[in-house]
Each structure stands twice: as structure tokens, then as C-alpha cells.
Amino acid sequence: MRPMPAPIDPVFERIVAIGDSVSQGCFNVGVSTRSQPWGLPAILARQVGAELPLPLLAEPGYPPHIDRMGAVLASRTTDRSLLEGRRVEPHVEPYNLAVAGARLCDVMALSGANLARLGRTVAVRRLTRLVLNPTARPDREPDSQLDRCIALDPTLVLCWVGGNDLMEAVFYPHFGVTPVSTFERLFQRLVSRLLAETRAVVVIPGIPDITSLPLLHAFRRRRVFLARAQAVLEHYDAIIAAAARRSERVVHIDPRPAMREYNRVGLDVRGWRLPYRVRSGRLTFAPLRGYGRWIWSGGLVSYDGLHPTQVGYALMAKHILEPLGERLGVPIPPVDLEQVARHDDLLAAANPVSAALTELALRLIYEPGVRELERRPWPNTPGRGWIG
């Protein structure tokens, strides 16, 4: 392995990430060596020449990638332990501590010591174990993502969190939506600890407009649900933005305007030297669909309808890292979107039926939860809220 180049600026000497799936690197539902290098922190580290050890998980991933069902079925007969998730190098100390499915409260408090006591999903519990303490070291058992982050003495913390405080209620309605007042109290405490207990610059991107993603298109007729979801996200995002006014060490980046524009018109790829053909010359937020070397639609969002493809992650990174460099006064080399798109294996072998089958499955699985959320009151003003 070739040595990493020296970071271009001391602020990037030790990047540590906390948060959820967008930082951990997830697509097609799963997390593995295939997806983790595309999380936002990993892209940032590559662009600035910094080291960012990852808690890499073996294929077919945990949870398994939904386009790797053949490998999943084979694992049942060859190595069933892979289905429970396996760290490739369990003794590596990761700097990316993000866990797919984590809420704000999980980032702050979920640890090996309380996994069995707290009401969390099997996937979040297992990923927390795999990331934070796969070898069950007793001295690490009390540590949450936030605790480990502080212990690593970061120079820059990338904290992207909040989406699951809404989205987990879609998947598991009994967990409920995090009340706005609770989210505000916890986020203020999170930022306070990072400012008081580290020397780091704290980067907090805003929450993307989840309601524009294909997963929620499956519920587009549920107008009450979508309106409530958007209102809650707006409140969360206002709380995140307000944290940036507390200190010059806190940097808030809002990717939503750019993402909304791409959702409206797509990403223009005409003139790029791609090994496949794209209908109308644009990659879109529509579900990923294609045949052979043709892409009929999609390209920015993977088959789960929620997490980006490689080029989708690169696009988000472009619109966060460029303003971050300006705010820090440090040049960050731009992400080469064409290069990423040329080697994105989801695009190169887009499946013509996966998107349609996935949307049908999502609707059947999650429609009852969405209906339940429509029947219950939601948090709709700061300081008021509901937990199921």
C-alpha cells in the first residue's frame, strides 16, 4: 500500500466522523468494503490527503447489499457468520465512527455497555458493536460515538446526523419521531461537548431534503405524511444551523439548495466519456434503472431509494467540500464527478427490474407504518413534539 500524502493543512491532520449512514457509507441497504469508501468523510480524507481508517465490513455487507442476494444465499451454506457482519480488520482503530441507522441520541449515548438495555433495532445494535468495539474490550464498552471521537483528539469533526430521527419512524413506527424540543436539547449538548472537550473545527452539514428521494416517492399519495415530514426536517435543520452561530469553530454547510436543483433537472453528463449511455444525457434522482450499457433513469440514488450511488455520494461531497474549503480558507481539490461516474459499478451494470421490485417491496413493508404516522400527532413547532 502506498503511503498517504501529507495533509494539505493542519486542520485535516486528524479527521474524525460521527453520524449515520451517509457518513458511514451505505448503498443498496448495506454497508461493506464496497460502499464505505464513498461515505462523505472518506471522500474528504482522499481529497485532502489525510488518513481516515475505516471499520471495513466484509462482503456481502451488513445489512447485506440487496443486489448481492446470490452471495447472501451462498453464505448460508459456506459461512453463515458473514450474515451477522464481520470486521475485516477488527483491531484497526477507526476514525470514521458513524453507524447506519443512528439517531442523534445514539451518536451521543449508545455504547456496548447499554446495547442490550436500550430499545434499538437489531441492525443499529450490531453495527454499533462492529464499529465501536468489535473485540468487546471492557475499557471500550462504555464509549459512544461521541466519547470515542473526543478520545481520538480530532482536529476536524464531521458530524452529519438527524435524518434517522425522522426516517426510523417510517421503518419502525413504535420508535416514533424525535420531538423537536428533544432534538434541540441533545444537539446543543453535542456541540457543547465537542467545543469544550476537543480542539477541533466542527463541521455540521444540514440534513438533505429526504422527502425528495425515491423511497418517499413510494408514498407520494400520502400528502399529510410528506408535509409533516418536511416540517419536522425544517425544524431539525434550523436547530443545526443555529449551532453554527455559537462559535467560529463550528461550520454549517447546507447542501439542500444544490440537491433540490439536481432533483429538479438532474446532473448533466453530456460530453463525459462514460462506458455506458445515459438517456437524455442526465443522471437523475429517479430510481436507478437500466439494461446492459444503457441507463434509462436514475444514477444518483441506489436501489434502496434512499442512499446515494458512488456518483451520488461524490456529488454531495462536491457541494459540501467546496464551501467548506472557502470557509476554512483552505483549498480542497474538487471531486472529479466524471471519473467517479465512469467507475461506478451500479451504473455500469444497472438492473432493469431492481428499482421497480424494490419500490414495490418498500411500499408493502412500510406502508402500514406510514399510515400509522399519519394517524398520530407530530411535532410541528419548536418546543413541542411526540414520541410513539
What pLDDT band is residue 117 in, cutting at 50, 70 and 90?
A: confident
What pLDDT band is residue 72 in, cutting at 50, 70 and 90?
A: low
More reliable by pLDDT, 142 or 365: 142
pLDDT at 11: 95
- With b meaning 16 or more CB within 10 Å and e meaning fewer, what string describes 368-387? ebbeebeeeebbeeeeebbe
pLDDT at 376 over 80: no
Distances (CA, A) of 200 to 98, 152, 246, 250: 17, 11, 14, 9
Beta pairing partners, 283: 267
Distance of CA 172 to the CA centre of its chain: 18
pLDDT at 1: 42
pLDDT at 144: 97
Nearest-CA neighbor of 262 among 311, 330, 323?
311
pLDDT at 80: 61
pLDDT at 108 over 90: yes
| Cis amide prior to 60 (ω within 30 degrees) | yes
Helix (H, G, I), strand (E, B) or coil at 68: coil
pLDDT at 2: 43
Cα(339)–Cα(332) distance, integer angstroms = 17
pLDDT at 355 over 80: no
What does pTM read for this prediction?
A: 0.90
Nearest-CA neighbor of 311 among 352, 280, 282, 279?
282
Beta pairing partners, 27: 30
More reliable by pLDDT, 161 or 218: 161
Give the cell for residue 329.
480558507
pLDDT at 82 over 90: no
Q: Which domains does the chain have, with CATH numbers?
A: 10-375 (3.40.50.1110)
pLDDT at 307: 92
CB 168 within 8 A of CB 175: yes
What pLDDT band is residue 147 in, cutting at 50, 70 and 90?
A: very high
18 φ, ψ (degrees, to nearest 5): -130, 155
More reliable by pLDDT, 244 or 329: 329
What pLDDT band is residue 380 in, cutting at 50, 70 and 90?
A: very low
- Tracing cell 413504535 back to the chain, one arrives at 174
Summarize pLDDT for 267-298 with one digit per residue, the tens.
999 999 999 999 899 999 888 888 878 998 89
pLDDT at 388 over 80: no
Summarize pLDDT for 40-50 with one digit per residue, the tens.
999 999 999 99
CB 154 within 8 A of CB 365: no
Q: What is the DSSP string of 221-243?
A: T-HHHHHHHHHHHHHHHHHHHHH
The mean pLDDT of 316-331, rounded to a whole number, is: 94
Distances (CA, A) of 342 to 82, 283, 298, 348, 375: 30, 12, 15, 8, 45
pLDDT at 384: 34
Cα(94)–Cα(72) distance, integer angstroms = 26
Average pLDDT, the chain: 87
CB 347 within 8 A of CB 295: yes
Which are the contacts of 61, defined by CB distance < 8 A and separation ≥ 6? 30, 31, 32, 34, 35, 68, 85
